[in-house]
């Protein structure tokens, strides 16, 4: 049974025809592990998305068997979905867990942004992000039914586009409940930057960038 409705596929075809500039890679890491609740669905969703544009190339890897590839992309759990420039071993824009519900919209926006390699953020945020010259990882804990989460995920991923030192990761709290519990997640979006700086909510990009700079300063 398809995960994307026919009318939605037609809409995506039109959107991608209009907005995709350069080819992109959609990379999925799956596993044979019985504990992986949505590995099969993550592959299926990526397959259906990739079918809507010739500019999207899908590759699927087994986390357990392709450990070197997982290491190249910085993947440490599964299922994982990555959006990257064609041919670049770049894991800066990640989804841990099935990007469904409201987060499906985040995935589509990422595909468009990565294809253009552009990110619409304020000049003040860009000024702050330009100061980041060492690795910073932004984890955004979400749930599929959270209407505010895509804004936080989108901001983290835009920052990753704008600065090669930044990695933005969506983490689906229900699928990775132990990690969410360890991070003290009680409401979403819950953002953790470099394991040190935390806040809850979909903040404007300037304020979000200030938190990134704070975490960078602690590193």
CATH number reported for the structural domain that contains residue 67 in this entry? 3.40.30.10
Tokens coding 124:
């003040």
* For range 43-70, the mean pLDDT: 97
By the 8 A CB rule, do 138 and 45 touch?
no
Question: What is the total residue count of the chain?
Answer: 219
Please tell me the predicted confidence (pLDDT) of residue 117.
93
Residue 118 falls inside a structural domain: no
Please determine, for residue 219, whether its predicted confidence score (pLDDT) is greater than 80: no
Q: What percent of the chain has pLDDT over 90?
A: 97
Same domain, 127 and 82: no
Of the candidates 78, 113, 148, which is a domain's last residue? 113
pLDDT in tens, 130-149: 999 999 999 999 999 999 99
Domain that holds residue 165: 123-218
Same domain, 143 and 206: yes
Beta-carbon count within 10 A of 13 CB? 13
Same domain, 18 and 78: yes
Residue 21 falls inside a structural domain: yes
Contacts of 142 (CB under 8 A, 6+ apart): 103, 149, 152, 153, 170, 171, 172, 173, 188, 189
Residue 141 falls inside a structural domain: yes
Please tell me the distance from the alpha carbon of residue 147 to that of residue 28, in angstroms, as a whole number: 24
Please tell me the predicted confidence (pLDDT) of residue 55.
98
Please tell me the distance from the alpha carbon of residue 33 to that of residue 41, in angstroms, as a whole number: 14
Please tell me the predicted confidence (pLDDT) of residue 69.
96
Same domain, 19 and 108: yes
Same domain, 24 and 109: yes
Same domain, 147 and 80: no
Same domain, 162 and 67: no
């Amino acid at each position: 049974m398809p995960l994307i409705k026919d009318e939605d596929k037609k809409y995506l075809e039109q959107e991608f025809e209009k907005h995709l500039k350069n080819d992109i890679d959609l990379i999925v890491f799956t596993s044979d592990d019985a504990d992986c609740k949505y590995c099969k669905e993550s592959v299926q969703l990526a397959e259906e998305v990739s079918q809507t544009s010739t500019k999207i190339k899908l590759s699927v890897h087994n986390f357990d068997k392709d450990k070197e590839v997982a290491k190249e992309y910085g993947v440490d759990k599964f299922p994982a979905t990555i959006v990257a420039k064609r041919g670049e071993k770049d894991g800066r824009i990640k989804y841990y867990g099935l990007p469904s519900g409201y987060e499906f919209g985040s995935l589509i926006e990422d595909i468009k942004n990565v294809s253009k390699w552009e990110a619409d953020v304020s000049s003040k945020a860009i000024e702050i992000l330009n100061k980041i010259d060492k690795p910073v990882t932004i984890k955004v804990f979400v749930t599929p039914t959270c209407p505010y989460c895509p804004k936080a995920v989108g901001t983290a991923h835009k920052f990753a586009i704008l600065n090669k030192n930044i990695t933005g990761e969506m983490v689906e709290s229900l699928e990775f409940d132990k990690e969410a519990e360890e991070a003290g997640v009680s409401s979403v979006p819950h953002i953790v930057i470099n394991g040190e700086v935390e806040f809850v909510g979909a903040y404007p990009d300037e304020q979000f960038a200030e938190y990134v700079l704070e975490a960078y300063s602690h590193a």
